[in-house]
Chain A
């Protein structure tokens, strides 16, 4: 049984453990905030993507409209005589 209660230098270990808790508080604080930064970036990417998608959608519509207008103009300018009379 003596094997188990084996902390040989209990006081020193206790002090070290205490210091460890404090150091780890700092570490976890930093790491958590780094993770939050990552999280932010991930979310930022996601929302930006959907905003871009919305923009793209509108551009698509406009593009098609423009194409249509171009075709219309070209039909009109193909025979200008119609407009001269």
Chain B
């Protein structure tokens, strides 16, 4: 029968279930098939089959269990009770007449709630009487029924605990009596018209007494119990049992431990308050043991936000139980708020997780390693066939040990969390952090005092760590549940059988031989649980079992059977062991096992005791998933019903919520270690939601949790993205910092970025959140896509608010962003950077070549750069004119952004900013590089075109002004006479060139020429940069395309046959692949070869691009053609026109002298125009073919010539003749140098066509049609020396 299942399972295991999602969350939901073995799923109905006459006991047990169940529901009703009165509306004055209606409505609403309370009152009285009756029945010394069994004792304790909790809760909830008194008032109002209300009134009075009396339930229980005076015995037994279990603390999980701790003070009070020998208790249990227990745990968690304190309870109850008030030793125990400071400090050390986290970390690491290795061994075992039995047993035993250890660890850890909470609740914070707002500490709610400000940063971190340990160990153990289940069963089976068949057999043969009664019990134990057949399957074991009849007590060998005993079996075994030990006598003095007066030898006693406690732990192991679920349930951290009520608010703000505080803590101080635990606090929400639905059964709580989770998760995702983005940004910015700069820096480490591990978080595609699955990864990538776009947008906005010099900074920031994108893309799938860039540049359209950036640069150039910047030819830089801006510019203010939109951290920002600042004062080659890089091949041509259009526009606008100036020229200006000297020349020039009424045109023409010059120089810079970029590009592609540079700058094809190396390479690779028959996908290689050919073509076409500058010059030349006739009139005589020429060079020459003079007079004037005026003027002159005319007839040149002659002739006379003119002369010399530079550059870049002109021989005869090299019509009529 088993084969098909095995086969089916094997078939399933062939499925690939690999999953790349890391396990950084606790388990959420699982399938649990054990219906909770801890309490028998069939209510111990199978116990009767063992014929131990336990039917009475079983019946009583089930009754108690039902009561426990009901009681828990009652307490959750009270716990989640929220005041209705607070929500009652107030009637406005206008509606006073319908007051009666309101009373009726109110009454109806409250009646429903009060009926529940009435039900609770009824229930508690019936539960108390049933519990009391049960105790009385089973404690009669002459009892005729078997029992109570250990399970029964537990049920009594649990029911007692439920009653205590209910009472405690009733005392704590102030809103219930409040609501009740309102209810009563409305009742009196409403019931006026009713008849026969006496019974109702009586009932109400009863309820009022019940609600307003403290500890009403316990008092009632006490009365019920001591109706007959024989419960002392069972109370003592319960106390002994509780004390021993607590002292041993082996088989207890934390919930059971807390139950015992809560119940024990009540039991002690009850036991000592009886009429007769109240001191007999201390004969069985020394008072010091009790005090020790109470002292060890001064606060015990009761409800999520409610704790109990044994000392306080004892004190309070002493006023109700006069007998007990004589127990001064117990009454002097200090309650948690009365602890002397030193002791409080000791307890604090004990309670705060932070003091234990180191040890816990070690435990966790050690345990996870050993558990994993045990599981691995088990896996190995399962894959080996015919493994050795002993080895099998050892490995399975090891797994069992690990599970026991794991459950105990979890129990210890979770109880630490509970206890720390209880401790914190008992000691509210007294010192508050300084607040930015002017709130006084008194305005803090109690909950803020106990939670929000009560956990220091370190404590929160420790709590997160512990919670994540609990959750991760829990989920690790959960994951292997089905794998290890049979190993666990087998080990338990073997343990039980070993005890039953070997240990008991040995005992029967030796110690118990003579004791008929006891040995009967022992053989009963054997009967009801021995699995004899398990050892018959192997022949040698059969042999052994035969031999075991003999004297030697050899251990019998068992064939393992993966079946655990049932709850009923464990129940019976525990009962029988207890019977053996106690002799069935409740009054037997001493403890359970620590009994010196017993007839059973120590050794056997020890064995029995060990087995007894092991049995109770078996139940937890058999309940594997259930136990794990209980132990890792941390939902209580969210609940705050008690404080909600005492603070009179509907709900606390999210900052007060402990789970969110933990998340917030991790987000606030991103710590590499804790970051991966960031999803763990969401498990707390999962747990609380689960509790709200299944334990407390309150829809509104779930709704509140859901609302909080939704809110928190949104914040969490956005902040996580922010942190991740900042981290990657800083990382990128750090990598892009100059290493030599970092090396030279003393405090370079402040720029380094501490590594953080986002990898795991970024892989989370299934975050479990309140039963939903959230794809965190896609949420993050969605946000990242947005953030990158926003960042780009911001950078462009920022650039738009600055001038052109910010191009370098922009380029750097974009580069950092790009690198960030690159780093993040390794973890996350986000849109490609170029796509986002294009999108933000508004450059998507196929038919538009401008982009946001290009148009910005263009408008910036038009409005600010060209009018306001001046060129310095030497440094090749444009700088802003120091004069007042000629054209005022309106710019948007610099937008604000968080540091992560720049470079990440503040330090990195300042580092990068100080680099950027170096480039912010000028415009030069680096800026051009930045612009070329930013615009790319797509938008650059658009910009160039715009600039060229600008030139031609300028020329057009200049034309009328120039002609105006032409008109203003005097009819004739001769060559400057040498006899006046420099002073005479200057005077002459000033006289002649006053421009008449057109002098206002002068400045405009000059600035126009300057702009043309600037544009041309700008294009010159662009040309330099493009050359460099092209060269680099060429260097990269040339080897692949098989190109080699030739001698005279030509590019030669190195390969014969015209096939470039790249095409060759792919062709041969494809051929090789195709010839290999085993190749999986030859078609793709063929495609690749095709693509290589395409790439070859594309790249070859891009090689050898032309020069932008040359093109621009040609363009300008073409633009000037239109005005050629106006600006360079052909001389009517055919000879060079010296005196009456109105050519452009003449105008320019006049303007140049003008501004040179001006600049000589007031120094800064020169800075208005800069060097670009020379570039503009000389280019136009050159392109008009007037270079030589200009060089000959320029006024300043003539002045310089005069000055030279003057200087040469007057050196011996008086060196001071030209004094006063040095500055002007210097400026003229400088201008000449500059002009010469421009002309030589132009000659090199834009050689003019040879022109045919006529010349005059030295003899005087004209010579027609002579070809002049590189000249225009300058020499038309001039004598040529060589000719």
Interface residue count on the B side (C-beta < 8 Å): 67
A46-60: contact bitstring with B at CB < 8 Å (1 yes, 0 no)? Answer: 110110011011101
Query: Which residues of A lie under 8 Å from residue B741 when comparing CB positions?
Result: none
Judge whether B521 and A9 touch: CB under 8 Å. no
B residues within 8 A CB of A6?
51-53, 146, 524
Interchain CB contact under 8 A, A5 and B521: yes
Q: How far is the CA of A25 from the CA of B537 in the complex (A)?
A: 15
Question: Do A24 and B563 touch (CB < 8 A)?
Answer: yes
Q: Would you list which residues of chain B between 10 and 28 have a CB under 8 Å from chain A?
A: 12, 15-21
A33-B9, A79-B847 known; A58 vs B829 contact (CB < 8 Å): yes
From 6 to 40 in chain A, residues with beta carbon under 8 angstroms from any chain B beta carbon are 6-10, 13-14, 16-18, 21-22, 24-26, 28-40
A85 vs B530: C-alpha distance in the bound complex, in angstroms?
99
* Residue of chain B at shortest CB distance from A30: B5
Residue B517 is within 8 A (CB to CB) of chain A in the complex: yes
Contact B533 A75 (CB under 8 A): no
Return the CB mask of B25-47 against A: 1 if under 8 Å, else 0. 00000110100000000000000
Q: How far is the CA of A54 from the CA of B583 in the complex (A)?
A: 67
- Give the distance in Å from the alpha carbon of A57 to the alpha carbon of B764 in the complex: 13
Contact (Cβ within 8 A) A35 B33: yes
User: In this assembly, does B1241 line the interface, its C-beta being within 8 Å of a C-beta of chain A?
Assistant: no
Does A46 lie within 8 Å of B52, measured CB to CB? no
Contacts of A21 in B (CB 8 A): 531, 533-534, 561, 563
In whole angstroms, what is the CA distance A3 to B777 when docked? 67
Complex contacts, B33 vs chain A, CB 8 Å: 31, 34-35, 38
Q: Does B708 contact A (CB under 8 A)?
A: no
Write the A37-79 contact mask toward B (1 if CB under 8 angstroms, else 0).
Answer: 1111011101101100110111011001100100111011011
User: Which residues of chain B are near A42, meaning CB under 8 Å?
Assistant: 30-31
Which one, B167-175, B480-488, B606-614, is touching chain A? Answer: B480-488
Contact B777 A13 (CB under 8 A): no
Whether the pair B5, A35 counts as a contact (CB closer than 8 A) is no
The chain B residue sitting closest to A57, CB to CB, is B829
Residue pair A36, B482 in contact (C-beta under 8 Å): yes
How many angstroms from the CA of A17 to the CA of B144 in the assembled complex?
A: 27
A29 near B30: Cβ-Cβ < 8 Å? no
**Contacting residues, chain A, for B5 (C-beta < 8 A):** 29-30, 33
Cβ contacts under 8 Å, A14 to chain B: 527, 530, 532
Known: A30-B5, A53-B766. A10 touches B524 (CB 8 A): yes
**Structural contact, B583 and A50, CB atoms closer than 8 A:** no
- Beta-carbon nearest neighbor of B569 in chain A: A17
Interchain nearest-CB distance for A82 vs B (Å): 5
A75 to chain B, nearest CB (A): 4
User: Does B489 make an interface contact (CB < 8 A)?
Assistant: yes
Whether the pair A28, B778 counts as a contact (CB closer than 8 A) is no
- Cα-based distance from A1 to B848 in the complex (angstroms): 104
The answer to whether the Cβ of B287 comes within 8 Å of any Cβ in the partner chain is no
| Best-surrounded residue of A3, A4, A13 (most CB of chain B within 10 A) | A4
Please report the C-alpha to C-alpha distance between residue A22 and residue B533 in the assembled complex, in whole angstroms.
9
The answer to whether B765 has its CB under 8 Å from any CB of chain A is yes
Tell me if B844 is interfacial: C-beta within 8 Å of chain A. Answer: yes
Task: Decide if B12 touches A49 in the complex (CB within 8 Å).
Answer: no
Task: Give bound CA distance, A54 to B961, whole Å.
Answer: 69
Residues of A within 8 A of B1 (CB): 26
Q: Is the CB of A47 within 8 A of B17?
A: yes
From 566 to 620 in chain B, residues with beta carbon under 8 angstroms from any chain A beta carbon are 566, 576, 579, 583-584
CA of A52 to CA of B1207, assembled, Å: 92
B690 within 8 Å of A (CB atoms): no
Report whether A29 and B524 are in contact in the complex, using a CB–CB cutoff of 8 Å: no
* B17 touching A44, Cβ below 8 Å: yes
CB distance from A7 to the nearest CB of B (A): 5
On chain B, the residues within 8 Å of A61 by CB distance are: 829, 831
Q: Which residues of A contact B530 (CB under 8 A)?
A: 14, 17
Complex Cα spacing A84 to B845, Å: 18
Given contacts A54-B765, A57-B829, A75-B848, contact A25 B563 (CB under 8 A): yes
Known: A4-B146, A36-B9. A13 touches B584 (CB 8 A): no
Is B1004 located at the chain interface by the 8 A CB criterion? no
Q: Tell me which residues across on chain B come within 8 A of A72, comparing CB atoms.
A: 844-846
Give complex CA distance A21, B521 in Å.
Answer: 21
Contact with A along B516-527 (1 / 0, CB 8 A): 010011011001
Q: Which residue of B lies closest to A36 (CB)?
A: B482
Q: A32-B482, A49-B773, A75-B845 are in contact. Are A43 and B17 (CB under 8 A)?
A: yes
The chain B residue sitting closest to A76, CB to CB, is B846
In the complex, the answer to whether A75 meets B846 with C-beta atoms within 8 Å is yes
Note all chain B residues with C-beta closer than 8 A to A36.
9, 12, 482
Q: By the criterion CB–CB under 8 Å, are A13 and B50 in contact? A: yes
Q: Is the CB of A39 within 8 A of B563?
A: no
* B563 lies within 8 A of A53 (CB): no
A29→B829 CA distance, assembly (Å): 45
B2 touches A (CB below 8 Å): yes
Closest A residue to B831 by beta carbon equals A64
Chain A CB within 8 A of B1094 CB: no
The interface residues of chain B lying within 8 Å CB-to-CB of A40 are: 12, 15, 17
CA A58 to CA B1139, docked complex, whole Å: 79
Expressed in whole angstroms, the Cα–Cα distance for A30 and B835 within the complex equals 57
In the complex, the chain A residue whose C-beta lies closest to that of B20 is A50
The answer to whether B51 touches A9, judged by C-beta atoms less than 8 angstroms apart, is yes
A32 and B834 alpha carbons, distance in the complex (Å): 55
Contact between A53 and B778 (Cβ–Cβ < 8 Å)?
Answer: yes
Q: Does B279 contact A (CB under 8 A)?
A: no
Is there contact, CB below 8 Å, between B562 and A28?
Answer: yes
Q: CA separation between A76 and B523, bound complex, in Å?
A: 96
Say whether, besides A39-B481, A75-B847, A10 and B527 are in contact (CB < 8 Å).
yes
- Who on chain B is nearest to A6 by CB? B53
B532 touches which of A8, A18, A43 (Cβ 8 Å): A18
Tell me whether B777 and A53 are in contact (CB under 8 A). yes
Residue from the set B482, B521, B524, B781 with the largest chain A CB neighbour count within 10 Å? B482
B813 CB, nearest partner CB in chain A, Å: 24
Q: Is the CB of B845 within 8 A of A7?
A: no
For A34, the chain B residues whose CB sits under 8 A away are 33
A68 and B524 in contact, given A1-B583, A6-B52, A47-B18 (Cβ under 8 angstroms) = no
Which A residue sits closest to B830, measured CB to CB? A61
* Interchain nearest-CB distance for B566 vs A (Å): 8
- Is B775 positioned at the interface, with any CB of A under 8 Å from its CB? yes
Chain B residues contacting A58 (CB-CB under 8 Å) are: 829
Closest chain B residue, CB of each to CB of A64: B831
Beyond A28-B563, A50-B20, A75-B845, whether A7 also contacts B579 by CB under 8 A is no
Residues of chain A within 8 A (CB-CB) of B831 are 61, 64
* Alpha-carbon separation in the docked complex, A61 to B829 (Å): 8
CA of A52 to CA of B781, assembled, Å = 16
Q: Are B584 and A17 in contact (CB under 8 A)?
A: no
Contact indicator B485/A13 (Cβ below 8 Å): no
Contact between B51 and A8, CB atoms less than 8 A apart: yes
| Contact (A29, B528) CB under 8 Å given A13-B50, A21-B533, A58-B829 | no
In the complex, are the beta carbons of B20 and A35 less than 8 A apart? no
Q: How far is the CA of A10 from the CA of B489 in the complex (A)?
A: 26
Given the known interface contacts A13-B527, A14-B527, A34-B33, the answer about A50 and B482 at a Cβ–Cβ threshold of 8 Å is: no
Given the interface pairs A29-B5, A29-B562, A35-B485, the reply to whether A76 lies near B847 with Cβ below 8 Å is: yes
4 tightest A-B contacts by CB?
A: A5-B520, A53-B765, A75-B845, A38-B31
Please list the residues of chain B having a beta carbon within 8 angstroms of any beta carbon in chain A.
1-2, 5, 8-9, 12, 15-21, 30-31, 33, 49-53, 144-146, 481-482, 485-486, 489, 517, 520-521, 523-524, 527-534, 561-564, 566, 576, 579, 583-584, 765-766, 773, 775, 777-778, 781, 829, 831, 835, 839, 844-848
**Cross-chain pairs A/B with CB under 8 angstroms, 9 sampled:** A10-B524, A13-B527, A16-B49, A33-B8, A38-B33, A50-B766, A53-B778, A56-B775, A61-B831
Q: A13-B51, A14-B532, A25-B562 are in contact. List 15 more A-B contacts (CB 8 A).
A: A3-B144, A4-B584, A5-B523, A13-B49, A17-B530, A21-B561, A22-B533, A29-B562, A33-B8, A35-B485, A37-B12, A42-B31, A53-B778, A68-B839, A75-B844
